Structure 1
């Protein structure tokens, strides 16, 4: 039996191994190609759908393995004819579409390195990434072409290609098959995390064999198995949308779904209903926006498995998921740099999903919560989440705690801890409590300087009514009654929207920067 034949937690612990993962692929430890594993080997002439795209304008686009495979091969031959060599970077700034998948997989077939770029990048963010990875070609659409050309170097690189129907037509006479010759250790993808225009994070470099280790997250984080109808609304420009939402399901021959254009939670729910999706992995923000739309009762859902990543889901949204989706939402914790390491084993009937928990370790991973002196925290004690990697402990830069049963719980980023008058408080815990209030749609909590207490808690609130002193007092009492007498926002500011990173998470650093700028202006 293969790992895809097992669904229980006990079987995952008994059978999961590196050797068992390799059995899921055609390639081996010497030669392996992501495009072959995800697309070509599943293109059997049947027209079976590979990707379903729900476009924001209301229309659906369904692409088969056959269509993507032949187009990717033609694009690979075009790159060869253009003199693009293995190891060169090919950047893509495209929404999910036929050109996106054709170019993504075609580039990887040749041994070139694919670099997905977010379509909403402005000139500064795009220029930094292009300058960092130095792509020879940048593929985009007509809308973004001028922006793409504006970041070109003095030597004219990268060459900007508009991947429209006219461009695809130029490929139609090229061969529809291509034989890749990549080694498993050859680079396949450079992935940028969100970062900022001032602090560009280094690209995370993934080889073709990364697809193999990814399958632990696919099997036990998202619970993907052959036969699932899968959907991930996250952009494939980011790690969750590309690796967990695109490559992982396709590698198993599972039809995946995605969203193109400006996100609309009601449009998403319609797609989930229309496509009869049984397994979805989304960001916590996607679930919250569906809840806030008030339209959950307008659709019929077919879920058997749900997962989420990016940040914890607040209790009120978890309750909404239970009411409308009727299966537990399973947290999947990890980062672009370390991969997924804590999961809740969706679909495993012998694994109890605890609301608010990050779950337990992926098979083969070891994690602990440590005090500053390196000793292990007791259950319930908050410390730093550490991962055993390469013969030593490395920090995840996250705060966490465990319970008596060995489940892990997220307590915020290390820099999201607020210390006020000697009390240590979690921004995440305060946010989750405030989000349970009927008038709070979104909330971001930070610590701000205070002469007496060192720091006090400030909450930025998006409310469904006009902010007032009375509402502020009500929110303060609501929070302290549910947490502790000292654990409440002493300052509440009502805003129309919160800054978010491209993955949809509240960008607390931007809130802290805003406060620092205000303080500097007041002092000056």
Structure 2
């Protein structure tokens, strides 16, 4: 019987996608399964086939083969055992995509330890919170971050440098992985950077199997694709959808290392002849904002995005520049991907602005406050049927007559002003239609008369002025409604973002709350 990777149509996904068909894509089974074996070792056939292409911000490319990562990961697994690491111990690593990153990621899982990727931008407080929470046996980082890491008590810091690779050089280049499918493989922290510790999401080795629904139908990965995901592999999108999913299917993947630069990304997409990319909405917007996309050649057949909706101007840029529809992929670190647009499926119509439809086998519903189902076009809370009950996604949505779902903002992004309900996402999308607005973020702030009002933070090359502020207010009011516009506007040089590139509205809300206390 054909494997799921041989089907591309939406109708085939509904007919053939099931749990057993996902397991049939791998060597392991429901009892014994190892992510490192499935993603790396089984594809290392001595041919030198490329596993990962890394576009470094400084302009150089790093090409890693399945053979090199497999051998290095095995040596690292042996090195961990030699240094007293036991199955179930946590191995944390704070590294940019590089050979040491992939050896840490796969070597730890190969010998049964738990990989804990951490963002390289964490300062001392953010790092200490996560180390205190997961209590890793080792923390592997680079020389630059070692000074910060050494200030964290209770963990041995290892610098990933040539000396470490030299220690591993004489160790065997094979390691027999014998983890059980239910053994823990990855502890992953969400992208919060405040003092409030995001909970670690804990993944077993068999998580790679269920991930394939998102890989096949959210990003459309198939053997033969030249794939790229610029999101950090310390974030869910970059790790699972940008690294483990493509490698698990034997597909060459690409990533970005260092401070993000949209022009550098476009050059890599051209040079690597990328046919399938999954990125954050912000990555597409930043490519548009460079004004230089016409300088490069593109080879896309499939595109997907996640993190937040794409504004209409950026969707138009994608259509005109890449000539491929941008397919939304919706989910969270906690619940996984649940809504997709089936990239590459010729019998699935991609509706601009839509989250798409559920992955095969999932049931979602938009509900009113009383738990009843909303009518088409009515905004409610998006709920997922899981373990015999409805579980909230904490997002607002609406559904159309054909069953397509649309994102209407986070539940905490709703602004209630003088009894009127406004969507921060909707106001942002309207502001981004203004020719002089490069980026926009909207939050609700306290108001003594209205309870809350909308406040916009604008990134623009145009000089700030009272006239410009009035122009933006009028521009928004005329396109939405007389009450739905930002009553306060502040111009900023940049917006706070998560490491995934998503606008971090919580940081803006926290800043405003702190300022309000001072005043």
Scaled by the length of structure 2, the TM-score of the pair is 0.99
Cα offset, 1:196, TM superposition: 3.8
Q: Describe the superposition over 1:393-416 as per-residue Cα deviations: whole angstroms up to 9, x where unpaired.
A: 010111111111111111111011
Q: Secondary structure at the match of 2:406?
A: strand
CA distance in 1, matches of 2:249, 2:167: 31
1:435 to 432, 436, 439: 432
Cα offset, 1:448, TM superposition: 1.6
Cα offset, 1:264, TM superposition: 0.4
* 2:23 is equivalent to residue 22 of structure 1: yes
CA distance in 2, matches of 1:348, 1:482: 35
Q: Describe the superposition over 1:97-141 as per-residue Cα deviations: whole angstroms up to 9, x where unpaired.
A: 111111211110100000000011000000000000000011111
* Contact 2:48-2:66 at 8 Å conserved across structures: yes
Partner of 2:148: 147
Q: Any residues of structure 2 matched to 1:80-479 within 5 Å, and which?
A: 80-153=81-154, 158-479=155-476
Q: Secondary structure at the match of 1:150?
A: coil
Cα offset, 1:359, TM superposition: 0.5
CA distance in 2, matches of 1:225, 1:400: 30
Residues 451-460 or 319-328, more deviating = 451-460
* Contact 1:421-1:453 at 8 Å conserved across structures: yes
Q: Describe the superposition over 1:345-367 as per-residue Cα deviations: whole angstroms up to 9, x where unpaired.
A: 00001111111110000011111
Gaps of 5+ in 2: none
Cα offset, 1:38, TM superposition: 0.3
Q: Secondary structure at the match of 1:459?
A: strand
RMSD: 0.9
CA distance in 2, matches of 1:75, 1:166: 13
Q: Secondary structure at the match of 1:396?
A: strand
Q: Describe the superposition over 1:18-76 as per-residue Cα deviations: whole angstroms up to 9, x where unpaired.
A: 00000000000000000000000000000000000000000001000000000001111
Partner of 1:71: 72
Which aligned runs of 4 or more in structure 1 are off by greater than 3 angstroms?
Answer: none
Partner of 2:50: 49
CA distance in 1, matches of 2:138, 2:516: 44
CA distance in 2, matches of 1:464, 1:8: 44
CA distance in 1, matches of 2:508, 2:300: 36
CA distance in 1, matches of 2:259, 2:310: 22
CA distance in 2, matches of 1:224, 1:202: 29
* Contact 1:91-1:135 at 8 Å conserved across structures: yes
* 2:502 is equivalent to residue 505 of structure 1: yes
Cα offset, 1:272, TM superposition: 0.1
CA distance in 1, matches of 2:101, 2:457: 37
CA distance in 2, matches of 1:76, 1:463: 49
Cα offset, 1:208, TM superposition: 0.2
* Contact 1:145-1:162 at 8 Å conserved across structures: yes
Q: Secondary structure at the match of 2:109?
A: helix
Cα offset, 1:485, TM superposition: 2.1
* 2:40 is equivalent to residue 39 of structure 1: yes
Residues 468-477 or 250-259, more deviating = 468-477
Cα offset, 1:245, TM superposition: 0.1
Cα offset, 1:227, TM superposition: 0.2
Gaps of 5+ in 1: none
Q: Describe the superposition over 1:309-344 as per-residue Cα deviations: whole angstroms up to 9, x where unpaired.
A: 110011111111111111011110001110000000
Partner of 2:4: 3
CA distance in 2, matches of 1:383, 1:401: 6
Q: Secondary structure at the match of 2:75?
A: helix
* Contact 1:128-1:197 at 8 Å conserved across structures: no
* Contact 1:52-1:62 at 8 Å conserved across structures: yes
Cα offset, 1:160, TM superposition: 1.1
Figure out how many residues of one structure are paired with residues of the other and give that number: 518
CA distance in 2, matches of 1:35, 1:395: 33
CA distance in 2, matches of 1:84, 1:448: 49
